[in-house]
């Protein structure tokens, strides 16, 4: 009996990137068109060390899409290597699956393999990772840490939002604090769950059917710590694909460079990685 061979995947990895402009990847499937993909990743303004954030886009031969963002823990040794490892492990795992097989086992295997490799480094390195798979116009998210994903409808309805694995993220989810208070919380920088930890766990989101005009945003906390959730929602659903991404980048830059006297809006200089799927 013939055995299926591993499928070819189209991989776009953004590791230690310091991009000056977003990259647009027009993407079409056989039937119907999938949409447009846009990616951006760059270092914190004024930072000399490598970008700790990584991003990736994978397109399988049978039209599956996997989007991923990772944020190497700032201040930890080799955070940039940890975030790169999880992207590379995802790429290897997805390349090994057979055509028409589910993407979930490969995604889980890739994250687990990355966790083992980072632990084996023995340097204390760690990273977040947020992944969204799209297949047959159904999306599903995977989460470790506080990098986040949103699925937004054309009129601004949030169809799904990942929960940040952090004390503040859990407090928002439970209703103890709101998004506005969370932006200025003293413990917003703390993360409860990381790739590179023996206690790592992967949260798997629900299957979310996608409408033709839905948008998906994945980003590190360089975006979500600098923009209010409503701002991300509104900017990510209006305009051409590159315009949407550029609007997010410009507002994040403005907040990162704002004076400390601006107490109304958030502002925290940081590395930034964003991946979007738009109509």
Higher pLDDT, 2 or 52: 52
- Does the pLDDT value for residue 3 go beyond 50? no
State residue 165's pLDDT score. Answer: 80
- Mean pLDDT for the chain? 88
Q: Does residue 3 belong to any structural domain of this protein? A: no
Q: Does residue 132 belong to any structural domain of this protein? A: yes
pLDDT tier at 31, thresholds 50, 70, 90: very low
Q: From CA 180, how far away is CA 229, in angstroms rounded?
A: 9
Range of the domain at 168: 9-258+265-278
State residue 143's pLDDT score. Answer: 97
- Does the pLDDT value for residue 21 go beyond 80? yes
- Does the pLDDT value for residue 150 go beyond 60? yes
pLDDT tens sequence across 39-87: 999 999 999 999 999 999 999 878 899 999 999 996 667 999 999 999 9
State residue 265's pLDDT score. Answer: 78
Domains identified in the chain, total number: 1
Q: Does residue 244 belong to any structural domain of this protein? A: yes
Q: Does residue 1 belong to any structural domain of this protein? A: no
> Which residues are within 8 A (CB) of 87 and not within 5 positions of it... i.e. 6 or more apart?
13, 15, 54, 55, 56, 68, 70
Q: Does residue 4 belong to any structural domain of this protein? A: no
pLDDT tens sequence across 103-122: 999 999 999 999 999 999 99
| Average pLDDT rounded to a whole number, residues 221-246 | 96
Domain CATH code at residue 124: 3.60.40.10
Q: Does residue 176 belong to any structural domain of this protein? A: yes
Q: Does residue 91 belong to any structural domain of this protein? A: yes
Out of 14-28, 52-66, 162-176, least confident range: 162-176
pTM: 0.90
Higher pLDDT, 184 or 38: 38
Q: Does residue 147 belong to any structural domain of this protein? A: yes
């Amino acid at each position: 009996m013939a055995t299926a061979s591993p499928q070819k995947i189209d991989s776009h990895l953004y590791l230690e990137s310091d991009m000056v402009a977003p990259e647009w990847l027009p993407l079409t499937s056989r039937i119907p068109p999938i949409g447009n993909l846009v990616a951006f990743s760059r270092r914190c303004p004024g930072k000399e060390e490598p970008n700790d954030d990584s991003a990736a886009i994978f397109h399988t031969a049978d039209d599956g899409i996997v989007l991923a963002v990772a944020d190497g823990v700032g201040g930890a040794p080799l955070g940039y290597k940890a975030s790169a490892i999880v992207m590379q492990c995802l790429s290897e795992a997805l390349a090994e699956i057979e055509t028409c097989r589910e993407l979930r086992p490969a995604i889980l295997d890739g994250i687990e393999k990355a966790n083992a490799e980072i632990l084996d480094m023995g340097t204390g390195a760690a990273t977040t990772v947020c992944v969204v798979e799209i297949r047959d116009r159904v999306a599903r998210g995977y989460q470790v840490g506080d990098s986040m994903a949103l699925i937004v409808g054309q009129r601004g309805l949030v169809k799904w939002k990942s929960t940040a694995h952090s004390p503040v993220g859990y407090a928002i989810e439970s209703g103890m604090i709101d998004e506005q208070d969370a932006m200025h919380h003293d413990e917003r920088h703390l993360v409860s769950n990381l790739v590179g930890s023996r206690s790592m766990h992967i949260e798997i989101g629900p299957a979310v059917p996608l409408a033709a005009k839905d948008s998906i945003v994945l980003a590190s906390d360089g975006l979500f710590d600098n923009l209010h959730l409503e701002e991300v929602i509104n900017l990510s659903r209006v305009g051409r694909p590159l315009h949407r991404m550029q609007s997010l980048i410009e507002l994040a830059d403005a907040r990162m460079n704002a004076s400390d006297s601006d107490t109304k809006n958030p502002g925290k200089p940081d590395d930034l990685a964003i991946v979007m799927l738009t109509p």
